[in-house]
Chain A
Amino acid sequence: MTIRYAMVIDTRTCIGCGDCVVACKTENKTPVGLNRDWVVEATRGKWPNVRTEFRSERCNHCSNATCVTLCPTGASHYWRDTNIVLVEANKCTGCKACIAACPYDARLIMHPDGYIDKCTFCHHRVERGDDPACVSSCPTQCMHFGILDDAGSKVSQLLKTRNYKALMTETGNEPNVYYLT
């Protein structure tokens, strides 16, 4: 893997509006009721000492993706020489091994046509130099996308200068979606 793409999402400005969900839905023409990304609200404390965080979540495009390792047909694979994890519809038998293998709430979803569909980091846009649909629609501009190994990229800069977390790093999957806190 020579290129690691990362998404960096600022929870200080995310408002939980769900535009990222609708933008993904229309861009990628996902089936009714199935979404590749979703928004979580986490509230802690007791009124009136409360804190709330909104997080737009999706596949973490793990550098060490258990879904790829455990896919029996090779349908789950890394796109070119990157960390973008895709599913090859023609090879996917719908056995759901990857669903069990993914440690995240990041659920892969069953497309009505019988294969597992998931977030692609909009590789068809990335290829053209565009941001993923969710990133480019977010009205608060709290989402950022770029190459992690490029020290000058916005995502690298943000991770250098801000506090952040990733989800369930203890799994060893090496997730590439980061949340600024």
Chain B
Amino acid sequence: MDRREFIKVSGVTAAAATVPSIFLSGCSTQPNPGEGEVTATPTVCDICFWKCAGHVYVEDSVPWKIIGNDEDLHSNGRLCTRGTGGLGAYQDKDRLKMPLVRTVGPNGQQIFREASWDEALDIIAKRMQKIADEHGADRVALLNHGAGASHFKNLLRGYGSATFSAPSYAQCRGPREVAFQLTYGEGVGSPDRTDMEHSRCIVLIGSHIGENLHNGQVQTLTRALENGVSLITVDPRFSVAASKSQHWLPIRPGTDVALLLAWMNVLISEGLYDKAYVEQYAMGFEQLAAHVRQFPPEWAYLQTGLEPELIRETAREMAKNAPATLVHPGRHTTWYGDDTQRERAIAILNTLLGSWGRPGGFYIQEKVKLPNYPLPDYPKPKSTFKVAHGDDYPFATQPVSNAVIDASIGDDAHYKGWLVYGTNLPMTIPGVRPKLRQAADSLDLIVVIDTMPAEVTGYADVILPECTYLERYDELRNAAEREPSLALRMPAFKPRHDSKPGWWIAKQLGERLGLQKYFPWNDYSEVLDWQLKQVGSSLDEMQQIGVKNFPRKTPKYFQAGEARRFNTPSGKIELYSQRLADRGFDPLPVYKRPPERPDNYYHLNYGRMPAHTFSRTTNNPLLFQLAPENTLWINSLVARQWKLKTGDSVRMQNQDGIVSKSIRVRVTERIGPDSVFMAHGFGHSAKQLRLTNGLGADDSALMTNVLIDPIMGATGMRGNFVTFVKNSEQEHA
């Protein structure tokens, strides 16, 4: 039977009544847009880490629109949905407006009161000084996300600390970076060095490009589709990418390593791998071949539920198009606690296809050699972040945020103070809320620097309102890319309310702590101008053009037959990892069965939706109109069993009895009967976020079974199962 399901995925009108007006309504003479006085100011988008460059347009002094910069490789002149909606971040009525300081209210309860910048900064500097005097400056950690954090890194380096922990490492991209470093001696990086526009075959295994809108990824995948790429998508859900694929492999959740091993088995047993490439560049092939011999497609079938013939056919398809075959490393890679090993399997598979350093596989990135503004040397911190890890996570190259939080709990905890910049910890790290409460009890100081009153501000002693990216300078964007390029973020508007740019806040704190020598300028624009002049440009020029591209100085791909030394102990691509073996880990990826699904429970799968960057944008008044809440995808068989229909409101209960907030059901054939799926970032509990508060559910609250990757500390989040608790009729209303 042909079933048909129409869903308006955007252009929702129902929410209109609840949304405050952000645009003046047109007057009856209806002038056409753009007929007034129009100005355009360069910017670099901050709605996600992709950092697309664009221009902010203002018409007759009213903010109008943001459009991509045509010269920009990250956006190719086209921002994504979220970047196009970036003005909403500026216009959001719920922004933080004044510094806030925790105090005791008239009834003895703790409250925030408004404070002047001077008072708030004095409080912070005094407590930081006290921590430095009593415990040492290395006891203050920065938990951060986004480019603006660089100002606070400078501050803390000068102060004497070196713990800068981005949750995007242990909660997202870390396993991939470590696995590729172990194999190739370098990571994938940002923007991902995938050469999809030249690929003839692309394998997406754990990557929902199209629902994640990382702009260059979407654009290059689309170019590949237009060129007739053979797209193979492995996903238990019929993702957007799956709907564009020649082959969709609806794998049993958690069994990817079995499939990857079987693919290697086929490539090697049928002699389809790139022998010359492997011979010249790789070591450990004999061990790999012996290892994967045990894992033919018939074996993988029992694990993955994928037909052996389909596994063989797709392996041959990859080999046929190699080396222009990209097995995409994905980005959010923290699933089952064996994530570094899964990513190692992906890295190794790419070696067998000869795609690393080859057109259509992975290109070699290059960035601009941009000198740093001259500053005095920083003091050597008394300890590094490794203190937080103890003997754990030997291959972590960055601090693991959950370990930093653990090392902040208790009277004898290592960390005594936190600066939290641009990251909403309770909705970012799985099941972390109880620990955040404990850490807040132990720490002498928590400062939250943000634009929005997100949940994390509830733990703060002092909250500092930063202005949005549209109102400030930040460091130049100098990302390693296809071509070296610089992009400028500059203020398009004056900071609203009493918000301030991050550079100003850091400098003010620096001066109060006697660290003014690390801020030897009056305005951050002086730093940018100095740096730009070192590479033949200037702030003036960049204020006109926004983006400047420079010619490459090195080749983008390996040259045919070229000798290369990789940055690994052996100087080769390490299929077999002696480094892992030496620390007691499997030197070759081994399949581990995922946790068993209990009866009447479903795998809790989660991901992105194109309209939002998780909890950071759900209150953005423009993007809110597109997607005001998340839904819970369930298969029609599950719907029948639980007597649920689309639009019903349910709560989920996980394997540990934790109950979620209400979420509306979406019955869809795009998901199988063993899982549910929801977009991450909803289910806010901060009342101050007036649009999004109370809408949808938060998946991270249900992630009480966190599977830690012993190699580098990532928090695997896919080991959780949910069942349904139906809401009472009253709650329906």
Interface residues of A (CB under 8 A from B): 12-13, 15-19, 21-23, 25-35, 37-48, 50-54, 89-90, 109, 111-113, 115, 124-125, 133, 136-142
Contact = CB atoms under 8 A, between A and B. Distances in A.
A109 B25 CA distance: 14
A35 B623 CA distance: 13
B64 interface: yes
B213 A139 contact: yes
B28 interface: yes
Nearest to B4: A44
Interface in B235-270: 238, 240, 243-244, 248, 250
A50 B238 contact: yes
B240 A15 contact: yes
Given A16-B9, A18-B611, A37-B11, 13 more contacts: A16-B610, A17-B80, A19-B80, A21-B626, A22-B85, A29-B23, A38-B11, A42-B5, A44-B3, A45-B2, A48-B672, A124-B34, A137-B78
Contacts of A32: 16, 19-23, 621, 625
A43 B22 contact: no
A45 B248 CA distance: 15
B24 A29 contact: yes
With most chain B CB atoms within 10 A of its CB, the pick from A23, A32, A38 is: A32
Interface in B1-46: 1-13, 15-17, 19-30, 32-35
B626 A26 contact: no
17 contacts: A16-B9, A17-B610, A18-B610, A21-B626, A25-B622, A26-B85, A33-B19, A38-B11, A41-B8, A43-B238, A43-B670, A47-B238, A48-B248, A53-B243, A89-B26, A109-B13, A125-B34
Interface string B310-348: 000000000000000000000000000000000000000
Listed from nearest, the 10 A-B pairs whose CB atoms lie closest are A33-B16, A38-B11, A18-B10, A124-B32, A15-B210, A26-B65, A17-B610, A52-B243, A19-B81, A140-B222
A47 B670 contact: yes
With most chain B CB atoms within 10 A of its CB, the pick from A25, A54, A111 is: A25
A26 B28 contact: no
B67 interface: yes
A116 B627 CA distance: 24
A47 B671 contact: yes
Nearest to B1: A46
Contacts of A22: 81, 84-85, 622-623, 626
B218 interface: yes
Nearest to B241: A15
B79 A50 contact: no
A25 B625 contact: yes
Contacts of A46: 1, 3, 636, 669
Contacts of A18: 9-11, 81, 610-611, 626-627
B66 interface: yes
A53 B670 CA distance: 12
Interface residues of B, number: 75
Contact of A43 (B27, B85, B669): B669
A52 B668 CA distance: 11
B304 interface: no
Contacts of B611: 17-18
Contacts of A89: 26, 28-30
A114 B280 CA distance: 73
A112 B193 CA distance: 48
Nearest to A123: B32
B507 to A, nearest CB: 34
Contacts of B685: none
B26 A137 contact: no
Contacts of B626: 18, 21-22
A23 B28 CA distance: 22
Nearest to A142: B222
A23 B669 CA distance: 30
Contacts of B19: 32-33
B4 A15 contact: no
Contacts of A43: 3-5, 7, 238, 668-670
B319 to A, nearest CB: 25
Nearest to A114: B28
A19 B84 contact: yes
Nearest to B2: A44
Given A17-B213, A32-B23, A124 B625 contact: no
Nearest to B673: A47
Given A13-B226, A15-B610, A139-B218, A113 B25 contact: yes
Contacts of A50: 238, 243, 669-670
Contacts of A38: 8, 10-11
Contacts of A137: 67-68, 78-79, 84
A29 B17 contact: no
A43 B32 CA distance: 38
B87 interface: yes
B635 A47 contact: yes
A80 B65 CA distance: 28
A51 to B, nearest CB: 7
Interface string B205-226: 0000011010100110010011
